[in-house]
């Protein structure tokens, strides 16, 4: 008898990281948080939430800290996905600490983590659908969507991780180059947060633990990822999209 196929994974909840200070995007973020900066005529966070809704996400937990009122007012008009605010006005908790605060809202199953400024042009099919299809709860604590640095916009670093044929990730060695850069989108299981440090900390801390256990994996993003970290990068991304549309 052939083995039974693994049931496709369909997450229903996502954490959208939107609490950062947006310092590199100033002066555009003097009065609004970075997720509200317009891209193609719409706030960055709307591109994220629309993509999540199209992928079947029912509820998005959005954390807030810097300039929270414009973002909260904007999100109040969203119909899908359902928006729940995780309030970090009292202290900026970084990516890991922010997720720890929101963890009771995210339930017991694996969920999506999505940076509020991660945008891309799709290649063949939906990258989120491919990410969900690649999730294996038995062997993974987290699965990262990895972009190719050479075909990404606004990125000029040396790469973040190496990835083997099975998708298992390791940190790029100092002084070496890697073609893979983290796109700001992943799946995580709540077990990854067991014994996490208190207060503010980076998700990198938990990824390093997952690497030690052989449970951090990646899947390649198909298409063009845009790292919109500065006003100059935003302008470059706008021009690239306009050129692609014209072609």
Q: Is the pLDDT higher at 156 or at 24? A: 24
Residue 188 structure tokens = 């995580």
Reduced to 3 states (helix: H, G, I; strand: E, B; else coil), residue 221 is: coil
Checking if the pLDDT of 5 tops 60, the result is no
In a domain, 4, yes or no: no
Q: How many structural domains comprise the chain?
A: 1
In a domain, 1, yes or no: no
Amino acid 7: pLDDT: 55
90-131 pLDDT tens trace: 999 999 999 999 999 999 999 999 999 999 999 888 999 999
Confidence bin at 2 (pLDDT 50/70/90): very low
In a domain, 60, yes or no: yes
Beta bridge partners of 86: 63
* CATH code: domain of residue 136: 3.90.550.10
Confidence bin at 157 (pLDDT 50/70/90): confident
Amino acid 238: pLDDT: 94
Close Cβ partners of 127 (under 8 Å, ≥ 6 residues apart): 120, 145, 185, 221, 222, 223
Q: What percent of the chain has pLDDT over 90?
A: 84
In a domain, 42, yes or no: yes
Give the Cα separation of 227 and 132 in Å (integer): 22
Average pLDDT over residues 28-54: 97
In a domain, 220, yes or no: yes
Amino acid 124: pLDDT: 84
In a domain, 186, yes or no: yes
Confidence bin at 8 (pLDDT 50/70/90): confident
Domain of residue 166 covers 13-246
Burial class from Cβ neighbours inside 10 Å (0-12, 13-18, 19+) for residue 25 reads buried
In a domain, 78, yes or no: yes
The 3-class secondary structure across 140-164, one letter per residue, is CCEEEEEEEHHHCECCCCCCCEEEC
177-209 pLDDT tens trace: 788 999 999 999 999 999 999 999 999 999 999
What residue spans of 176-246 are helical by DSSP H? 203-212, 231-246
Question: What does pLDDT average to over the chain?
Answer: 93
In a domain, 6, yes or no: no
Confidence bin at 245 (pLDDT 50/70/90): confident
Amino acid 159: pLDDT: 79
């Amino acid at each position: 008898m052939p083995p039974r196929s693994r049931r496709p994974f369909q997450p229903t909840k996502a954490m959208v990281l939107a609490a950062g200070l947006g310092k590199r995007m100033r002066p555009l973020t003097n009065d609004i948080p970075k997720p509200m900066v317009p891209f193609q005529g719409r706030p960055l966070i709307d591109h994220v939430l629309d993509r999540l809704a199209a992928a079947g996400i029912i509820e998005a937990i959005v954390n807030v800290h810097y300039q929270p009122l414009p973002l909260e007012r904007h999100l109040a008009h969203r119909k899908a996905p359902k928006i729940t605010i995780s309030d970090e006005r009292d202290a900026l908790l970084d990516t890991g600490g922010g997720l720890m605060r929101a963890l009771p809202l995210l339930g017991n199953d694996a969920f999506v983590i999505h940076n509020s400024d991660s945008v891309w042009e799709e290649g063949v099919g939906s990258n989120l659908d491919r990410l969900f299809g690649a999730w294996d709860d038995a062997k993974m604590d987290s699965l990262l969507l990895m972009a190719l640095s050479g075909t990404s916009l606004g990125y000029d670093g040396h790469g973040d991780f190496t990835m083997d044929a099975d998708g298992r990730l390791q940190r790029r060695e100092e002084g070496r180059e890697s073609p893979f850069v983290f796109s700001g989108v992943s799946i995580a299981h709540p077990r990854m947060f067991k014994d996490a440090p208190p207060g503010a900390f980076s998700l990198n801390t938990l990824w390093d633990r997952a690497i030690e256990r052989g449970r951090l994996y990646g899947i390649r993003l198909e298409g063009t990822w845009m790292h919109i970290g500065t006003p100059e990068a935003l302008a470059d991304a706008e021009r690239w999209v306009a050129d692609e549309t014209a072609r």
